[in-house]
């Protein structure tokens, strides 16, 4: 019996050491990942879009930068004094769309030649817009409640015109959205929209008929002004992850990350969770990546277990040219090699 116990303890020690080795290996490998400074100012970016050759970065001072990856150059392409912060950026139908998250929401609509239009709706007066997403020309956007009703809109022409969704959602007291990275909403297909809320209560919302009706599921986040669900990502129609926590207590790990394998009908607490508050989660090639104020983590088993990937303070994530891009303070972005599935 003693030999059996010793053998069992040896196995546990080996597995524990292996887990520590994996963690240290990823952190060490990414410690020297290249950092690019696109601005000398004290700005940071929550709005980030990347494709194979370009990166568009919306910043805390309302500016929009363009990085040409082939030429390795950064250029300021938009700045107006009445744009406080651009918290989400999308690129649709050769148009750049920047979401302004001030007390009166508005959108920047710009083509690649520099022609610029600012889109405002009377209904957006007094509305803090939180995030938007597109599937082709179909887009969905949500903002904080106005008169206790969530501000939810969709578009069918790539973001030029927006219509209020016919299905109204009444908000609970102190319930709103978190515009931490513009990733609290997602358009899964031409007819399915999802988004999350936080604050006094956290909920997951899903519509399969372009916002005509909604199903709401309560998420087990702690209630509070700075706590709740911040970001979600569905890898496909069924597998999804929600991250969040408390940005005022970023090292708190309890009830910060949940996963679903049934399209959001049910949510489960991760077995091995992330290292604290997380503001953005994305997926690529079957792997989830999530970031926050104390690092980046990844999951290769659909959000059940998470492994530390990099240390540092990050706001938003995107994928470009087989690189993971993370925004940082001081007008900087960092480039990491993606995980390779074995």
Per-residue model confidence (pLDDT) at position 22: 53
C-alpha span between 296 and 293 (Å, rounded)? 9
Helix (H, G, I), strand (E, B) or coil at 235: coil
Bridge partners (DSSP) of residue 242 are 232, 258
Per-residue model confidence (pLDDT) at position 15: 31
The domain spans of the chain are 1-32, 34-337
Residue in the structure block whose two tokens are 């309890």: 254
Helix (H, G, I), strand (E, B) or coil at 48: strand
What string of pLDDT tens digits covers the 342 residues of the chain? Answer: 333 333 322 233 333 333 443 567 889 889 999 999 999 878 999 999 999 889 999 999 999 999 998 877 899 999 988 888 999 999 999 999 999 988 899 999 999 999 999 999 999 999 999 999 999 999 999 999 999 999 999 999 999 999 999 999 999 999 999 999 999 999 999 999 999 999 999 999 999 999 999 999 999 999 999 999 999 999 999 999 999 999 999 999 999 999 999 999 999 999 999 999 999 999 999 999 999 999 999 999 999 999 999 999 999 999 998 899 999 999 999 999 998 765
C-alpha span between 264 and 216 (Å, rounded)? 10
Closest CA to 298 of 266, 341, 269: 341
Provide CB contacts within 8 A for 247, sequence distance 6+: 180, 226, 230, 277, 279, 293
Closest CA to 103 of 129, 137, 70, 75: 129
Bridge partners (DSSP) of residue 337 are 323
Per-residue model confidence (pLDDT) at position 73: 85
Q: Are 327 and 44 in contact (CB under 8 A)?
A: yes
- Which tokens hold the place of 180? 């931490």
Helices (H), the chain: 2-30
Q: Are 222 and 246 in contact (CB under 8 A)?
A: yes
The CB-based long-range contact list for 161-169 (8 Å cut-off, 24+ gap) reads 162/119, 162/121, 164/123, 165/140, 165/193, 165/207, 165/210, 165/211, 165/212, 166/211, 166/212, 167/207, 167/211, 167/212, 167/213, 167/214, 169/205, 169/214, 169/216
Indicate the fold that domain 34-337 takes in CATH.
Methylamine Dehydrogenase; Chain H (2.130.10)
Per-residue model confidence (pLDDT) at position 23: 63
Per-residue model confidence (pLDDT) at position 84: 86
Half-sphere exposure of 178 (CA within 13 A, CB side): 31
Q: What is the largest CA-CA distance in the chain?
A: 78
Closest CA to 111 of 155, 144, 158: 158
């Amino acid at each position: 019996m003693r030999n059996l116990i010793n053998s069992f303890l040896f196995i546990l020690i080996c597995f524990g050491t292996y887990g520590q080795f994996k963690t240290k290996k990823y952190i060490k490998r990414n410690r020297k990942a290249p950092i690019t400074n696109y601005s000398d100012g004290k700005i940071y970016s929550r709005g980030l879009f990347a494709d194979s050759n370009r990166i568009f970065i919306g910043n805390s001072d309302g500016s929009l930068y363009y990085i040409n990856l082939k030429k390795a150059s950064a250029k300021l392409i938009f700045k107006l004094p009445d744009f406080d912060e651009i918290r989400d950026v999308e690129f649709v139908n050769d148009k750049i769309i920047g979401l302004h998250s001030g007390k009166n929401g508005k959108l920047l609509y710009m083509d690649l030649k520099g022609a610029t239009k600012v889109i405002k709706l009377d209904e957006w007066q007094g509305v803090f817009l939180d995030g938007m997403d597109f599937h082709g020309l179909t887009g969905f956007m949500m903002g904080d409640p106005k008169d206790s009703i969530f501000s939810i809109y969709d578009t069918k022409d790539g973001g030029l015109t927006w219509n209020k969704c016919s299905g109204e959602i009444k908000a609970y007291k102190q319930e709103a959205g978190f515009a931490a990275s513009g990733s609290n909403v997602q358009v899964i297909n031409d007819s399915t929209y999802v988004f999350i809320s936080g604050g006094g209560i956290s909920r997951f919302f899903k519509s399969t008929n372009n916002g005509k009706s909604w199903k709401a599921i309560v998420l087990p986040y702690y209630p509070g002004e700075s706590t709740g669900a911040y970001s979600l990502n569905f890898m496909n129609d069924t597998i999804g992850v929600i991250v969040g926590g408390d940005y005022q207590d970023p090292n708190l790990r309890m009830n910060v990350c949940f996963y679903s394998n049934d399209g959001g009908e049910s949510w489960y607490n991760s077995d091995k969770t992330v290292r604290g508050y997380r503001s953005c989660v994305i997926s690529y090639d079957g792997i989830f990546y999530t970031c926050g104020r104390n690092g980046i983590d990844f999951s290769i088993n659909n959000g059940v277990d998470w492994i530390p990937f990099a240390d540092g303070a990050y706001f938003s994530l995107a994928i470009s040219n087989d690189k993971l891009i993370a925004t940082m303070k001081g007008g900087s972005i960092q480039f990491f090699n993606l995980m390779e599935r074995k």
